[in-house]
Amino acid sequence: MSPLDPWLLQSSVWRCVEHLAAGEPVPHPIAVELHLGTTCNLACPECVSRPTLDTATFEPDRALGVARELASTGVRCVVLSGGGEPLLHPSAAGVMESLHDAGVSLGLVTNGTLLHLHLQTVASCAARIRVSVDAATAATYDRFRPQRGGGSSFQRVLRNLERIAPLAHDRLTYSFVLLTRQAGVGAPVDSNAADLAEAAGLAKSLGCAAFEVGIGLDARLQPAPSHAHVSSLLSDQLHAALQCADNDFRVFVDPMVADLAAGRGLREFPARGYARCPAAQIRALVGPRGVSLCPRHQCLPRAIYGDPCVTPLREIWGGTAFQAAIARVDPRSDCTGACMSMQLNDQLLCAVDWLRTHGAAPPLTDDHDLFM
């Protein structure tokens, strides 16, 4: 038995590991986070995409072209998310259908406000659907996820979850990110923590298959220091939320949230110990602001290596700019705070070591889940 994570042993992933172990460029990413635009209909004060909101969008035809090129280039998994609300883009349905028809695994991260416009498409095309709610009551939702221009979207989001659940129960996740805010030292702390247990029960009653608890980040992309003030409240809430779990309803808790609830304090994300990011060779951000090593670095010019608004993706990944960007970004200094690939990088580096030591591949499996 190989000690490697089974996820690494999927054929497409292992081919990338072989390139990395040989010191060769990976020909193209196999997974992409796709942003169609940067517009959102909510105005969440803690949104990590605030610096790039309303800055760019793909023309409708180009968005469809990008979807076709992702599939034809060999990308196997696409998560349509971030940078704004993906379902606001006029080509969202066409992009989802095109990727699904080409056999690309599709994930969708959405605020849920527009799901009613795309119920059938989302249900038939998306292998994973994560709806960001972060609340169980309209009062909390409206403080942390206010609608742009005023009003509340909370009831609409709940109705949309209820409508899509029968069509996509096993793929539907209610996402709850722990949010706290404090105007200054000694000022009162506002938080959504008191909603956590009720949100888990709500997610289950609406027909979601999973409830995911994440940690809110500040501008440094570290857990907000004000989270420390809700530790004991969080402990009771998390305990009650976990009571909702059963065979049909899973509850996932970020280890940092679990630590905080257990009184182990608030940890920060550690510095990276590697000079090149292997994950950036196998996953990328594609959006109207450019193709970049990862979502975290969509504003870092040296991490951006092509403009998909005007250049075909095959050309971007086939040229030298891709590897030049990998060489320019040093995670030890450029990548403080959170990123989606920290755990993936640890796994990839472990697999590279394993392959260099053993010299041959372990038994592999067909691709079954390329979401990272």
Q: Cβ(37)–Cβ(84) under 8 Å?
A: yes
- Residues that bind ligand SF4 (rule: CB under 6 A) add up to a total of 14
> Least separation, in Å, of the C-beta of 18 and ligand SF4?
20
Contact 197, 234 (CB under 8 A): no
One of 329, 351, 370, 372 touching ligand SF4 (CB under 6 A): 329
Q: Which of 213, 335, 348, 370 binds ligand SF4 (CB under 6 A)?
A: 335
CA–CA gap between residue 182 and residue 225 (Å, rounded): 9
Stretch that binds ligand SF4, among 45-53, 126-134, 189-197, 337-345 (CB under 6 A): 337-345
Cβ at position 31, least distance to ligand SF4 in Å? 12
Q: What are the tokens at 11?
A: 């054929």
Does position 372 interact with ligand SF4 (CB under 6 A)? The reply is no
Whole-angstrom distance, CA of residue 36 vs CA of residue 59: 9
Indicate if the alpha-carbon torsion angle 245, 247, 253, 258 is positive or negative. positive
Lookup: tokens for 9: 């042993």
Of 129 and 215, CB closest to ligand SF4 = 215
290-292 and 304-306 as β-strands: parallel, antiparallel, unpaired? antiparallel
**Strand 210-215 vs strand 290-292: parallel, antiparallel, or unpaired?**
unpaired
Q: What is the dihedral of CA 221, 226, 231, 236, to 10 degrees?
A: -90
Q: How far apart are CA 251 and CA 242, in angstroms?
A: 6
Tell me whether residue 9 or residue 342 sits nearer to ligand SF4 (CB atom). Answer: 342
Smallest distance from ligand SF4 to CB 290, Å: 14
Distance CA 53, CA 48 (A): 10
CB of 278 to ligand SF4, least distance (A): 8
Q: How far apart are CA 176 and CA 259, in angstroms?
A: 17
Q: State the Cα–Cα distance between residues 355 and 352, nearest whole angstrom.
A: 5
- The answer to whether 76 and 370 are in contact (CB under 8 A) is yes
Q: Which of residues 117 and 299 has its CB atom nearest to ligand SF4 in the complex? A: 299
Q: How far is the CB of 297 from ligand SF4 (least distance, A)?
A: 5
Q: Helix, strand, or coil here: 163?
A: helix
168 vs 329 by CB, closer to ligand SF4: 329
H runs (alpha helix) in 169-214: 196-206
Chain centroid to CA 131: 11
Binding mask 24-43 for ligand SF4 (x = CB under 6 A): --------------------
Residue type, position 55, single letter: T
Among 52, 257, 331, 347, binds ligand SF4 (CB under 6 A): 331
Whether residue 285 contacts residue 293, with contact meaning beta carbons closer than 8 Å, is answered with yes
Nearer to ligand SF4, 20 or 277 (CB): 277
Give min distance, CB of 332 to ligand SF4, in A. 10
- From 163-171, 183-191, 244-252, 329-337, span contacting ligand SF4 (CB under 6 A): 329-337
What is the CB neighbour count within 10 angstroms for residue 372? 19
Q: How far is the CB of 209 from ligand SF4 (least distance, A)?
A: 28
Is the Cβ of residue 108 or residue 329 nearer to ligand SF4 in the bound state? 329
Which x/- pattern over 340-369 shows residues binding ligand SF4 (rule: CB under 6 A)? Answer: -x---x------------------------
Judge whether 203 and 190 are in contact, CB under 8 Å. Answer: no
CB of 335 to ligand SF4, least distance (A): 3
Shortest CB 326 distance to ligand SF4, Å: 8
Nearer to ligand SF4, 132 or 345 (CB): 345
Residues 273-312 that bind ligand SF4 (CB under 6 A): 277, 279-280, 293-294, 296-297
Interface residues toward ligand SF4, by CB under 6 A: 272, 277, 279-280, 293-294, 296-297, 329, 331, 335, 339, 341, 345
